[in-house]
Amino acid sequence: MVSYTESAIVDAYSRDASNYPDGWAEAVWIPQSVEELIEAVRECIDRDQPLTLSAGRTGLTAAAVPAGGVLISVKRLNRFALHQSEETAWVWSEPGVVLQELQQSVEAQGWFYPPDPTERSSLIGGNIATNASGARTFKYGATRPYVRRLRMLLGDGEILDLRRGQFRAQQGTLRIESESGRCYAVPIRSIPMPAVSKHAAGLFVQPGMDAIDLFIGSEGILGVILEAELQVIPLPPKVFGLVAFFDSVEGCLDFVEQARHRSYQTRRSGGGDIDARLLEFLDRPSLELVRSQFPEFHPEAEAAIWLEQECTETTAMPLLEQWYELIAQHSTLADATWVGLDAQQQERMQRLRHAVSEAVYERICALKQTKIGTDMAVPEPYTRQLYFLYRQLADRHRLEAVIYGHIGNAHLHANFFAGSEAERHRARRAYDEAVAQVLRWGGTISAEHGVGKLKKRYLQQMFGTEVVDYFRRIKRVFDPKWLINPGTMIDR
Ligand SMILES: Cc1cc2nc3c(=O)[nH]c(=O)nc-3n(C[C@H](O)[C@H](O)[C@H](O)COP(=O)(O)OP(=O)(O)OC[C@H]3O[C@@H](n4cnc5c(N)ncnc54)[C@H](O)[C@@H]3O)c2cc1C
């Protein structure tokens, strides 16, 4: 195992994409095999040494940032293999596989792994631990439904081999047996869950649930992912992408409502009409942020939507026409729509979306600002209200803001920029007011980034003390010494 104690290296590993400044560790360990990872974690348990798991460090909530002890990076555990039979296929994967590499490899063999967090340099272990989701979640859901098996090392040194369907909660208890025969019993309660299509805050608990789902999205606080099996599906025969520009935000939001409604109808009826697999929103300030890279944006655009539609050679043109008609009903700029028929054009659209997230980061570095970024989702009927809530809060608190994201899932990111201490204070107030309103609408404080070290207060606000205590009790079942990922999601 490679191990570092040099402060420059330890400091670099003590940060993720959230820029949370308070990470610290005594050492960084980088196991070169799953066996070394198991040995490393068991050594920590024997020594009562806290440990934090780190994958691609693209997290935005400091979940992988250490709060003392040892940081264990899984990035060298990067083997994977596609297994195919006539009807199905799945990928066996170690936790350090880069998402993009896995996706490209299976696509080259005619299969498709749908989960697509915008940051595809993230690793499979990090994706499973955060139940990562992305643009295509609108059609395909988050990471969870694609995880069919997980091998987990627990905080007591035991190993669980969890195959979906193997252990299910019955009569209020989830009973699980480890590879060595140790038994675990977790009381399963019914807790009020937000009525949203994306939710990543707190542990997943549901009557009748499958044990594997407790570990997916648990931000690494219950144990270490050693290996996983991921379901893949047949690669759609053809896809086209569109970027549509709108002369008003209202027109754009009306378009989204219609596009979503017709996509759902198509899925229910089994085909024929349009069915977006992603619907991504960019407001005017987001477009301005990346205009230098994409000078062909229509100058009058107040908002834009990037969408993708799966099709065949014969359905491509009729579907394209249906989309064009729908865009033209809501925008006078329909003729400016970008059409992406080939992979290169579609990658450019994907780059546009990614460029906005990157430009936010570059701007705060260049102007020595910070940003307060939201990750809230609301029940779908409140999509419009969510946009106007963010915009009004930015105006009322005199903050510059960009609003963009996964509008298909009623999930928008607002980034409030703050330079001075006074602006930071106002941005935090805007954030708090947004949380309060989103919770009143039945939404979630985190649709995809998780809680990490930054949103614990909001988790408490969302679920209340009693439920957070219940999460603590679940952690103690699997990590009795409270050694794994201390300070992430819940405090001791
Ligand atoms: C520009 C940008 C865009 C983004 N867009 C999206 C998006 O669209 N959707 C989305 O969901 N996220 C998004 N993210 C956030 C981030 O990419 C995801 O949360 C991602 O899943 C994190 O993966 P990672 O490999 O970087 O994990 P890390 O950040 O290293 O870790 C994340 C969590 O996983 C735990 N972990 C890591 N390995 C293991 C293991 N082997 N066992 C147990 N726990 C482990 C860590 O302890 C931590 O709690 C974005 C980030 C950036 C910077």
Domain at 135, CATH number: 3.30.465.10
For ligand 1, atom 23, the nearest C-alpha belongs to 126
Residue ranges in the chain whose pLDDT is less than 70? none
Name the residue range of residue 144's domain.
Answer: 80-234
Q: Domain check: are 192 and 248 in the same one?
A: no
Pairing of strands 370-373, 411-418: antiparallel
Query: Which residue CA neighbors atom 16 of ligand 1 most closely?
Result: 59
Question: What is the pLDDT at residue 369?
Answer: 85
Does residue 448 sit within a domain? no
Q: Which residues contact 364 (CB under 8 A, 6 or more apart)?
A: 370, 371, 417
Q: By the 8 A CB rule, do 153 and 224 touch?
A: yes
**Does the Cβ of 218 fall within 6 Å of ligand 1?**
no
Element spanning 9, H or E: helix 7-13
- Domain assignment present for residue 465? The answer is no
- Structural domain includes residue 29: yes
Alpha carbons 262 and 130: distance in angstroms, whole number: 30
Specify the pLDDT at position 220: 98
Q: Do 274 and 422 share a domain, yes or no?
A: yes
Report the pLDDT value the prediction gives residue 492, as an integer from 0 to 100. 92
- Taking the centre of ligand 1 as the mean of its atom positions, its distance from the CA of residue 384, in whole angstroms, is 28
* pLDDT tens, position by position, 107-147: 999 999 999 998 899 999 999 999 999 999 999 999 999 99
Whether the CB of 280 sits within 6 Å of ligand 1: no
203-241: pLDDT as tens digits: 999 999 999 999 999 999 999 999 999 999 999 999 999
Statement to judge: residues 24 and 144 lie in one domain: no
Distance 433 CA to ligand 1 centre (A): 26
Q: Give the distance, in angstroms, between the CA of residue 299 and the centroid of all CA atoms in the same chain.
A: 32
Distances in Å between the alpha carbon of 467 and those of 4, 190, 193, 481?
Answer: 38, 10, 11, 21
**Could you tell me if 421 and 300 lie in one domain?**
yes
Which of 94, 113, 130 has most ligand 1 atoms within 8 Å of CB, for mutation? Answer: 130
**What pLDDT is stored for residue 87 in this prediction?**
85
Q: How many angstroms separate the CA atoms of 74 and 93, rounded?
A: 12
Angle, helices 249-269/316-330, rounded to nearest 10 degrees: 140
Contacts of 422 (CB under 8 A, 6+ apart): none
Which atom belonging to ligand 1 lies closest to the Cα atom of 63? 49
Tokens, residue 326: 């729908």
**Given the structure tokens 């696509």, which residue do they identify?**
107
Amino acid at the residue 288: E
pLDDT recorded at residue 467: 97
Flag whether 476 is in a domain: no
The reply to whether 339 and 258 lie within a common domain is yes
Pocket flag, ligand 1, residue 122 (CB < 6 Å): yes
Contacts for 421 with CB less than 8 Å, ≥ 6 apart: none
Do 36 and 105 fall into the same domain? Answer: no
Alpha-carbon distance 414 to 392, whole Å?
11
What single letter denotes the amino acid at residue 217? Answer: G
Q: In what order do the strands lie in the sheet with 70-73?
A: 2-4, 27-30, 70-73, 51-54
Half-sphere exposure of 222 (CA within 13 A, CB side): 29
Domain annotation covers residue 453:
no
Q: Decide: helix, strand or coil at residue 122.
A: coil
Ligand 1, atom 37: nearest CA belongs to which residue?
A: 126
Containing H/E element for 343?
helix 343-366
Does one domain contain both 131 and 200?
yes
Domain count within the chain? 3
Ligand 1 centroid from CA 56, angstroms: 7
Q: How far apart are CA 442 and CA 462, in angstroms?
A: 10
Residue 415 lies in a domain: yes
Q: Could you please report the per-residue DSSP string of 138-161?
A: HHH--SGGGEEEEEEEETTS-EEE
- How many angstroms separate the CA atoms of 319 and 310, rounded? 9
98 in a structural domain: yes
379 shares a domain with 261? yes
* Sign (positive or negative) of CA dihedral 141, 142, 143, 148: negative
Tell which of 58, 73, 88 closes a domain. 73
Same domain, 242 and 258: yes
> Which residue, 25, 45, 73, sits at the end of a domain?
73
Q: Tell me the pTM.
A: 0.96
27-30 and 2-4 as β-strands: parallel, antiparallel, unpaired?
antiparallel
Return the ∠ at Cα 188 (arms to 186 and 191), rounded to 5°: 140
Q: Which residues contact 252 (CB under 8 A, 6 or more apart)?
A: 246, 281, 302, 303, 304, 305, 330, 331
Domain boundary among 234, 269, 301: 234
Indicate whether 7 and 105 sit together in one domain: no
pLDDT of residue 271: 78
| Cα 79 from Cα 31, distance rounded (Å) | 13
- In the chain, DSSP finds a helix count (H) and a strand count (E) of 14, 20
- The domain that contains 44 carries what CATH number? 3.30.43.10
Residues 162 and 49 both lie in one domain:
no
Domain co-membership, 230 together with 242: no
Rg (C-alpha) for the chain, rounded Å, is 22
